[in-house]
Amino acid sequence: MKIEKISDNQIRCILTADDLAKRQLKLSELAYGSDKAKRLFRDMMQQAAFQYGFEAENIPLMIEAVPLSAGSIAVIVTKVDNPEELDTRFSSFAPSVGREKAPEESGTAGVFEQLLSAIRSVSGGEKPAAQSGENTEDAQVSRMKRYFFTHRLYLFSDMEHAILAAKAAAGRYDGESSLYYDSAAEKYALCLEMRDVESVGKQLAVLSAISEFGETSKFSLAREEHLREHCRTILADHALESLAEL
């Protein structure tokens, strides 16, 4: 089980097929909240709290599950400051639910319910048959989820920190990268694009190393377009490789 801190308010957890096998769990079982599934979720949240201080009690959350290959799954957990201002790009996230505190779960019952709901949506449980117009909408949501999961944006206060991040990732990063300078924010912006969600799971250690030198920022198609059109392009391709050689 690998956990990546995206920001103070967001984490990703990769549950591989091996993780599930060690706990004698199948992906389909996760969707229906067995005791083993709840123990796995509890361990996940406790590990996030221990590693990154990510506390989820009494805080509205968005939770999404993204299926990977070979029975693996990624769970994205986001704290929400104002539930009424949720980004509509992620309207497929499970909504926050009330938290009924169970003695054995120390107030985390609401988190489990959201996790179960999110995993149900990707494992086929309780999913109605799609109408003709829904296929297109589902495809658009799927593309947005894929983009969100396979792209990263890191901001650096100066070129030196960008170079240090590149050297930390040297020879280990597998994907596209580009570097821009945002004069308005006075930041260098490093954009990463990985092939698929499975490759992201394999590169969490590299992404974590890069984040030690820069600030992880929200990324979207609109943000990427803004960088291309309004910011100075420093390195359009293979930015990490080029910076690592400096």
For the stretch 93-123, pLDDT in tens is: 333 333 333 333 334 445 556 566 656 555 5
> Which CATH architecture describes the domain 150-244?
2-Layer Sandwich (3.30)
pLDDT at 29 over 80: no
| Mean pLDDT (whole number) for 72-99 | 54
- Three-state SS string over the chain comes to CEEEEEECCEEEEEECHHHHHHCCCCHHHHCCCCHHHHHHHHHHHHHHHHHHCCCCCCCCEEEEEEECCCCCEEEEEEECCCHHHCCHHHCCCECCCCCCCCHHHCCCHHHHHHHHHHHHHHHCCCCCCCCHHHHHHHHHHHHHHHHHHHEEEEEECCHHHHHHHHHHHCCCCCCEEEEEEECCCCEEEEEEECCCHHHHHHCHHHHHHHHCCCEEECCCHHHHHHHHHHCEEEECCCHHHHHHCC
| Mean pLDDT (whole number) for 82-96 | 42
Say what the pTM is. 0.55
Which pLDDT belongs to residue 1?
82
Which pLDDT belongs to residue 140?
60
Each residue's pLDDT tens digit, 152-186: 999 999 999 999 999 999 889 999 999 999 999 99
Q: Which of 171, 154, 159 is nearest to 234 (CA)?
A: 159
The residue assigned the tokens 């361990």 is 43
What's the pLDDT band for 237 if we cut at 50, 70, 90? very high
What's the pLDDT band for 142 if we cut at 50, 70, 90? low
* Domain positions in the chain: 2-127, 150-244
Q: Which of 241, 221, 237 is nearest to 229 (CA)?
A: 221
| Mean pLDDT (whole number) for 126-145 | 53
